[in-house]
A and B are shown apart, each in its own frame.
Chain A
Amino acid sequence: MGAWFSENGLLIGLALLDGLANAALIFMVAVGLNLVFGVLRIVNVAHGSLFAIGAYAAASLGLFLASLGLPPALGFAALVVAAALVGGILGPLIERLLLRRIYDQEQVLQLLVTFALFMILEDVQKLVWGVQPILQDAPMKLLGTVEVPFGEDTIPFTAYQLFLLPGVAVATLVGLAWFLRRTLTGRVIVAVTTDKEAAMAMGIDAAKVTLLTFTCGAALAALGGALASPTTSLVPGIGAQTIVLSFAVVATAGLGQIEGAAISALMIGLGRSIAVYLAPEFEVVVPYLIMVAVLLVRPQGLFGVPETRRV
């Protein structure tokens, strides 16, 4: 063990740090998907496109600000502004113009409508940003690296991935939990999630709640993308990758579970990055294997509530 550990221990340490940063990003996307499913009862396939567009918008805005000669610290503002713009504009547009027409349709059709939207947004993204990789890593460089002590050695790791990403994810988790449980608007959302008809009978404007929830979910996806943009080059296809990964997180956690999504994002994020170092060929498979293993034991997901069967 000793010799093996001194050789591979650092790699494992790096894998854990990588996994944490990874989990933080997947959580941001998955929690939005979950929130939207809770109220709309639709699994939004186009959620990954919102992630991708958020990422591209943040990178473009950051590059634009930098080209004006403004201080690089504004790059952080660019991340948030881009996410808010994408969520605030695309969210209501999609909900009002499209999803609203299909709430009483079959699940199959709802899924396909969001799939059609995914196809459209994928090309919109290619038309606007092209297919060449785009990189804007100024925010990550600005924060520099930290030497993380690990055993006798230290691991250099970017402060952006070490503190900022997990920090934002935890803040989102806590903020969302507080919002849903302690504020009136949040409790109205929970009411609609639990029983839409009863909530409407109590005078809740379900259409407004739906619009608000979808916009929040879209903004979370875009924020996830914006935060991810400094860590990687943006290429077509990241939306498609992200959505299947967040499907896996959501199904593992159980549909509609906010805190559960955080735990399963951690499991999947860590599992993936450990696989990168141990068996790189199987990295991409790990999330799905975790999901399948969990669903074998608990068909409704780790924290999901089994539905009663109708007669």
Chain B
Amino acid sequence: MSTTVTAPARRVAPIGEALLALLGIAAVILAAWAVPWLKFVLTVALAKGIAVLGILLLLRAGQVSFGHSMFLAIGAYTVAFLAPALPEALLLLPLGAAIAGLFGLVIGLFVVRYRDIFFGMLNLALSMVLYSLLEKLYDLTKGTDGIRVSGLRFAGMTPDLPTQEWVTFGLALGLALLFGLLVRAYLGSPMGQALAGIKTRETRLEFMGVSARRVLLSAYVMSAAMGGIAGTLVAMTSRHVTPQLAYWTSSGELVFIAILGGAGSALGPFLGATAFELVRVYAAAAVADAWQMILGAVLLLVILFAPGGLWGILAGRLGRRR
């Protein structure tokens, strides 16, 4: 068994990682400023990156959730349902995270008892339950038509559309940085180390008196809350929320991004999400009917030839130079 997903080929010094992060932030801001329509794509990419950070936590334990976009959908629908009564974005963000985290706790209590394929499939099944409910309960959710989000306020103000786009972009960037640092610290902590223990030999972990289920549960709740945050950001950016957010293929995309970016660093998800969204936009513009095929081919190439993901490629370069 190779361990490519969790163990990067080379370690990059923290200072190198910090420099790369700063470089990334500068690049993203520059791109959003130079090409205005990219701002939308990049905001969504940053939001998805936050959700993928959550996938990364579970991957560390060797578990893959093929239904994680349900938490993203919960966050997005929190905004859609509450915005008419409570238009304050700065309140909706933590609310989306809290509600998704709460769902994560309830669902987590159930799914952390399972491993591998069953863990993945149960998540898939539960996300499909949510998807079907969102689609079928038309009176509540307007079905596949979705719900429009409008009239959001930021700290009590209602900025015009361009400003609002910049504010959402800034929020996404700030939260991405915050959660990136958080996940980095978490993975370095004993809880994070125990997470890796679930992957290698769970029984040994329990011999040391550590409850594997509790370790996995806390990671699961965290990842659900991050999915919720991502969902609120997506809802604020696209201003239109549909059940498609919870469909299993959207969850597949999140796992896709995790592998594309590489699970070796908290920067991986953002590298992956940006690359994914850019390839999607350009592929859809170039060959409207085959963008999915192009993404699939990219994923295959990454898995077969660069299993460490984009981060692995980058880390390999940096390691060699030092």
A interface vs B, CB < 8 Å?
43, 45, 98, 101-102, 104-109, 111-113, 115-120, 122-124, 126-127, 240, 244, 247-248, 251, 255, 280-282, 284-285, 288-289, 291-292, 295-296, 299-300, 309-311
With a cutoff of 8 Å between Cβ atoms, the chain B residues found around residue A127 in the complex are: 289-290
Q: Is the CB of B136 within 8 A of A240?
A: no
Q: Is the CB of B117 within 8 A of A292?
A: no
Give the top 7 A-B pairs by smallest Cβ distance, nearest first: A119-B296, A123-B293, A284-B132, A120-B296, A116-B299, A288-B125, A281-B136
Q: Is the CB of A282 within 8 A of B289?
A: no
With a cutoff of 8 Å between Cβ atoms, the chain A residues found around residue B167 in the complex are: none
**Which of B116, B121, B133 is the most central at the interface, judged by chain A CB atoms within 10 Å of its CB?**
B121
- Interchain Cβ contacts within 8 Å, total number: 146
Contact of A123 among B120, B247, B259, B289 (CB under 8 A): B289
Q: Is the CB of A126 within 8 A of B289?
A: yes
Contact of B125 among A45, A240, A291 (CB under 8 A): A291
What are 14 sample pairs from A and B whose C-beta atoms fall under 8 A apart? A102-B304, A108-B62, A111-B120, A111-B255, A112-B256, A112-B299, A116-B295, A116-B299, A117-B296, A123-B292, A123-B296, A299-B113, A300-B118, A311-B204
With a cutoff of 8 Å between Cβ atoms, the chain B residues found around residue A248 in the complex are: 121, 125
With a cutoff of 8 Å between Cβ atoms, the chain A residues found around residue B118 in the complex are: 251, 295, 299-300
Contact of B303 among A112, A119, A123 (CB under 8 A): A112
**Which of A124, A126, A284 is the most central at the interface, judged by chain B CB atoms within 10 Å of its CB?**
A284
Q: Does B124 make an interface contact (CB < 8 A)? A: yes
Contact of A106 among B2, B113, B249, B255 (CB under 8 A): B2
**A109-B307 in contact given A281-B137, A292-B122, A299-B118 (Cβ < 8 Å):** yes
Give B285-322 as 1s and 0s: 1 = Cβ < 8 Å from A's Cβ atoms.
Answer: 00001111101110110011001000000000000000
**A255-B117 in contact given A285-B133, A310-B203 (Cβ < 8 Å):** yes
With a cutoff of 8 Å between Cβ atoms, the chain A residues found around residue B82 in the complex are: none
Query: A280's closest neighbor in chain B, by CB?
Result: B136
Query: A98's closest neighbor in chain B, by CB?
Result: B300
A71 vs chain B, min Cβ distance (A): 36
Q: Does B3 make an interface contact (CB < 8 A)? A: yes
Q: Does B17 make an interface contact (CB < 8 A)? A: no
A128 vs chain B, min Cβ distance (A): 11
Q: Does B221 make an interface contact (CB < 8 A)? A: no
CA distance A57 to B114 in the complex (A): 38
With a cutoff of 8 Å between Cβ atoms, the chain A residues found around residue B33 in the complex are: none
Q: Does B64 make an interface contact (CB < 8 A)? A: yes
- The residues in B between 266 and 293 inclusive whose CB is less than 8 angstroms from any CB of A are 289-293
- The residues in B between 103 and 135 inclusive whose CB is less than 8 angstroms from any CB of A are 110, 113-114, 116-118, 120-122, 124-126, 128-129, 132-133, 135
**A244-B248 in contact given A251-B118, A295-B114 (Cβ < 8 Å):** yes
Q: Is the CB of A108 within 8 A of B59?
A: yes
Query: A42's closest neighbor in chain B, by CB?
Result: B117
Query: B199's closest neighbor in chain A, by CB?
Result: A106
Contact of B4 among A106, A284, A292 (CB under 8 A): A106
With a cutoff of 8 Å between Cβ atoms, the chain A residues found around residue B64 in the complex are: 107-108, 111
Q: Is the CB of A116 within 8 A of B249?
A: no
Q: Does B94 make an interface contact (CB < 8 A)? A: no
**A116-B132 in contact given A292-B126, A299-B113, A310-B203 (Cβ < 8 Å):** no
Query: B295's closest neighbor in chain A, by CB?
Result: A119
With a cutoff of 8 Å between Cβ atoms, the chain A residues found around residue B132 in the complex are: 282, 284-285, 288
Q: Is the CB of B303 within 8 A of A104?
A: no
A118 vs chain B, min Cβ distance (A): 7
Q: Is the CB of B307 within 8 A of A113?
A: no
Q: Is the CB of A115 within 8 A of B299?
A: yes
A96 vs chain B, min Cβ distance (A): 14
CA distance A240 to B110 in the complex (A): 25
With a cutoff of 8 Å between Cβ atoms, the chain B residues found around residue A281 in the complex are: 136-137
Query: A110's closest neighbor in chain B, by CB?
Result: B303
**Which of B3, B128, B299 is the most central at the interface, judged by chain A CB atoms within 10 Å of its CB?**
B128
Q: Does B57 make an interface contact (CB < 8 A)? A: no
CA distance A124 to B304 in the complex (A): 21
Q: Is the CB of A288 within 8 A of B128?
A: yes
Q: Is the CB of B203 within 8 A of A309?
A: yes
A21 vs chain B, min Cβ distance (A): 21
B17 vs chain A, min Cβ distance (A): 23
Q: Does B80 make an interface contact (CB < 8 A)? A: no
Q: Is the CB of B136 within 8 A of A247?
A: no
CA distance A240 to B3 in the complex (A): 30
Q: Is the CB of A105 within 8 A of B2?
A: yes
Q: Is the CB of B124 within 8 A of A244?
A: yes
